[in-house]
Structure 1
């Protein structure tokens, strides 16, 4: 069975709905992951940066602190709700627009850095987004992408997927898994096939900002993917999913383990 992927409009609707949840529950972890991308892109020599899927703009504040004073950032997000929140920050030397990652409104060979944190696995066609990154980068430019990494270590993302599979079995696989780019060899080959000549990869991680059962279940209760499952299945199926997710979270809490985001990072040179 071919795995279905979201359309651009579905991605936009998802992040519009998720904007408040993201800021309250996921932004700190995303910022931690973003900080692990910056040491390898030579920020001190970066002057014109393209940052896609910029979210609420908090990560841009961190990036600005590491860049030369004459640098400028062009940041974009598919979600108009996220763009509005980023604009409210009044970030210096930063141009913020709404745009799709696979159709950026920039000329060719325009930037010396390109950053895409935790977005490549959500777009309809990863190769289109990577080719667009290659297009807007100047020769010698550096691109960096991060995606969900090893499923067994990315417990916060893996638990809801496992709970769904335990309840509905193979039906859950009709939707593309957020881990579909987690194989480092395959992802590096994909990036090279899109035009980049040197491609490196590494793994990093960030903890979920909470260790208790109640706060973890509150996270999932407002998690857009869980809400999508609630809309996709009947009430009985959703309740069985929620019960199974509760059991999986309880197991983690009882073992006194911290739920984690595991991330694969790919660094590519044009």
Structure 2
């Protein structure tokens, strides 16, 4: 993927990536559960989620929040929101906006940098793993502050420690060993600086900031499970760059994954940086 610079490019990328992502997004559910817990979602009345994606844990979320609490789930990608609706067994097809009375849930397309909601509308704002994707993180944080009521809380997660996010490193490292440089892509770890992230929220007006790293392990442990990971289209495209050595590159990636489990006695997984703050 080339370096993403504009919102329409982000929308197109996630529309195209939605099926692949929805088959593996269970790997990041630890971050989302931490947000629900630390934001005390079960006590909130008007909740907004930006970048809701494919709604992997929405069956849990809709039971966790108060029945009378309104929940607005938004994303740039209509395909992601369609998958979210299917997971909740919502029969209506998603088109721009959908209200589900059973859950007091509104599903809506929205751009986190330019939200369509009035000032002081929500008492809770959630953004899981999308702040580092947007073109202007400061603008997205400012919008979160704007739409929150006084006393409202916001929670963001971004990718954390790159070294601990070993899954992201394996394929590029092996390709580099074979003298292959993958195309430049938007840096995923450009916000993985705890002090920088805290300052960004405080500069926007947030207070009572709490920020910490958290590791989310993959459940994958067998060769077959790791092979399925390596067979995702994005990885296969990377292997194809190695030409007649593509299978050799893939096998070395598989070996590194298995060694990580068997020799290091560590799970493969991803590290996140989580930040919670209040609008006072």
Q: Pick the TM interval, shorter chain.
A: 0.7 to 0.9
* In 2: Cα distance, 1:127 partner to 1:165 partner: 33
* In 2: Cα distance, 1:78 partner to 1:227 partner: 26
* In 2: Cα distance, 1:187 partner to 1:228 partner: 33
Q: Which residue of 2 aligns with 1:77?
A: 75
* In 1: Cα distance, 2:171 partner to 2:127 partner: 24
Q: Which residue of 2 aligns with 1:87?
A: 85
Deviation digits for residues 182-212 of structure 1 (CA, Å, limit 9, x no counterpart)? 1111111122222323321022222212112
Shift of 1:166: 4.5
Q: Which residue of 2 aligns with 1:156?
A: 167
Q: Which residue of 2 aligns with 1:47?
A: 45
1:193 to 187, 199, 203: 203
| Residues 212 and 253, structure 1, Cα contact 8 Å, conserved in 2 | no
Q: Which residue of 2 aligns with 1:146?
A: 157
Shift of 1:117: 0.8
Q: Which residue of 1 aligns with 2:96?
A: none
Deviation digits for residues 69-115 of structure 1 (CA, Å, limit 9, x no counterpart)? 22000111111111112233235111001122212211111100000
Deviation digits for residues 12-52 of structure 1 (CA, Å, limit 9, x no counterpart)? 222222222222222x2233321111221122320000011
Write the mapping of 1:76-225 to structure 2, written as runs, cut at 5 A. 76-88=74-86, 89=88, 90=90, 92-167=103-178, 174-222=184-232, 224=234
TM-score (norm 1): 0.85
* In 2: Cα distance, 1:140 partner to 1:228 partner: 47
TM-score (norm 2): 0.82
What is the Cα-based RMSD across aligned positions, in Å? 2.7
CA 1:189–1:81: 2 relative to 1, 3 Å: same
Q: Which residue of 2 aligns with 1:251?
A: 259
Aligned length: 264
CA 1:44–1:247: 2 relative to 1, 3 Å: closer
Secondary structure of the residue aligned to 1:143 is: strand
Q: Which residue of 2 aligns with 1:16?
A: 15
Q: Specify every segment of 5 or more residues in structure 1 that has no aligned partner in the other structure, as ranges.
A: none
* In 1: Cα distance, 2:7 partner to 2:167 partner: 25
| Residues 167 and 240, structure 1, Cα contact 8 Å, conserved in 2 | no
Shift of 1:163: 3.6
